[in-house]
Amino acid sequence: MTVSTPSVHRALQGVPYSVKKLHIEKTTMKSTLNKTESKEFIDTLNAHIDTGNMFIFHGETNFNLYMARLEDKFCVSDRTTVDLPPTKAKTLHVQNGVSSGSGLLLLKRMGTKRMLFFADLFLVALRSEGYRAFDSATNVAIVMSNTLAHIGVEELTFKVLADDGIMNLDRLALLHLGPYGPILNHIGVYWKSINAKTNHYLTESNHEVRVRGDTSRIQCTDGYFDSEPGKHVITR
């Protein structure tokens, strides 16, 4: 790499340079408030881990049923083009709940509101084989991202469960991921992995969904989300 000498301060002349990728960090990431909220989230998360509670990570993603593959096999003489319908093609908003021990617990199209999904996810978790492996007093901690859409969802979820006559509400804990920042980068990657696997699964099965025409019931096979062998995957 050649650098013009007049553009470099004398103190830096002769010093080796290298081209590095820039990482963008918003100034608010390192603010005192964000650091405090991130630390509170980590402390709460560690408390659930120390208690031995069951963790479920909530993810959601958009998926176009008519989305083209980015790569495919073509003859050398053929043009690499795919005919698609207009952009008005149906887009699915899919939610899922993934447990590290049981794999995928619930995969549902966005036909219901988030608090209904969280309520269903809690009940499904209590009936799962993964939960039976825990102590009977174990709580279920659902970890969600920090999007604005999740504000106030805890109160609504508990209200839905109470209206349905569910008594053991003390077994459920809903955790919001702290503000994005370097301290949470290692856990923020988990959502990218969940959404990537969800999109990959839907890409593999989208032909069947398009032919069947029923997107309200999405099936998923055991082991797709790294569930342990023999674990039962519940879908709705």
Q: How do the domains of the chain map onto residue ranges?
A: 27-212
Can you give the pTM of this predicted structure?
0.65
Beta-carbon contacts of residue 189 (< 8 Å; ≥ 6 apart): none
Q: Could you read off the pLDDT of 106-149 as tens digits, one per residue?
A: 777 755 578 888 898 899 888 888 888 888 778 999 988 777 66
- Using one digit for the tens of pLDDT, what is the confidence trace for 143-158? 887 776 677 888 888 8
CB neighbours of 16 closer than 8 A, spacing ≥ 6? none
**Which residues does the chain have with pLDDT short of 70?**
1-15, 17, 25, 28-29, 65-72, 74, 77, 80-91, 110-112, 148-149, 180-183, 185-186, 188, 205-236
- Please state which CATH class domain 27-212 belongs to: alpha beta
Q: For the chain, how are helix, strand and coil distributed in percent, rounded to 5?
A: 40, 15, 45
Exposed, middle or buried, 152 (CB in 10 Å: 0-12/13-18/19+)?
Answer: exposed
CA dihedral 101, 102, 108, 114 (to 10 degrees): -40
- Confidence (pLDDT) at 226: 42
